Homo-oligomer: A and B are copies of this chain.
């Protein structure tokens, strides 16, 4: 049974996501205090892989994960999971919403239920703790009356009762997670894949436009872009890019080759099936068949067989 690290403590959304990411094999889930610790466990071989959050539709990206993926030995994402951000209110048995005087949770979670709390717990004292799971643990210990937690926390604290569920202000909020491991055989292309890279480019006029044109000209759909400063390299910017397609696809491979030549550095972060399994439409001129035919045409031209 392989060990799989995740950003702990148990009872968080990351545990829920990591369970989903490993649902088809028997995995021993190992909570880690931070994302860098989880990734270090993968690099050292202590665990086979790690489940880490990369992006929240409300809160934005998870810088700790992005940064940790670009330093030290390369790791690649092999699976993706998208988890709805739905919060439960957990309390000790017998408690009711009307009697709640103290509520604890992680600051990000509190921010995402502010509207609901204003209506339903207007007088409660709000306490910030280190995680949504830690809040549930503290409630179980009798420190607070209620916790705003991930639904999975209820499984770790079965004595707690659910006073409310689905209380996030933004109904469709989701968090995206990746299962990352050491480089090795890539996941097979499925026709509904995503590729992630980190590219460093110099800070000159047009470099970003040119980089993006390498994708758009090949009909590649960009699903996410985010710049992060390069800490010790003035005048250079690091871009995290996610786009539809698998590195085994001709159009993706050619585009990645172009970026590798154009950019100061490119780190491949993985090609993996998209969580929504939605096939990306590929334009006729960017299809595998079109690339195959143009390669044959070019070979004929170069060999002087036709013009």
Contacts and interface: CB of A to CB of B under 8 A. Distances in A.
A302 B213 contact: no
Given A214-B217, A256-B301, 6 more contacts: A74-B306, A183-B305, A210-B217, A253-B302, A261-B290, A261-B294
Interface in A76-97: 76
A262 B254 CA distance: 15
Contact of A260 (B217, B256, B294): B294
Contacts of A214: 217
Contacts of A286: 261
Interface string A149-178: 000000000000000000000000000000
A285 B265 CA distance: 12
A298 B210 CA distance: 20
8 closest Cβ pairs, A-B complex: A74-B307, A257-B294, A261-B285, A260-B294, A268-B307, A261-B290, A268-B301, A184-B304
Contacts of A297: 257, 260, 266
A291 interface: yes
A260 B307 contact: no
A248 interface: yes
A257 B291 CA distance: 8
B256 A298 contact: yes
B307 A76 contact: yes
Report copies per complex: 2
A225 interface: no
A269 interface: yes
Which residue, A184, A267, A285, A293, has most C-beta atoms of chain B within 10 A? A285
Nearest to A253: B298
Interface of A: 74-76, 183-186, 210, 213-214, 217-218, 247-248, 253-254, 256-258, 260-262, 266-270, 285-286, 290-291, 293-295, 297-298, 301-302, 304-307
20 contacts: A75-B307, A185-B304, A186-B304, A210-B217, A213-B217, A214-B217, A217-B217, A247-B301, A247-B302, A253-B298, A253-B302, A254-B254, A256-B298, A257-B294, A257-B298, A260-B293, A261-B291, A262-B285, A266-B297, A268-B301
Which residue, A74, A214, A260, has most C-beta atoms of chain B within 10 A? A260
A298 B184 contact: no
A232 to B, nearest CB: 21
A241 B260 CA distance: 28
Contacts of A295: 257
A267 B298 contact: no
A217 B254 CA distance: 13
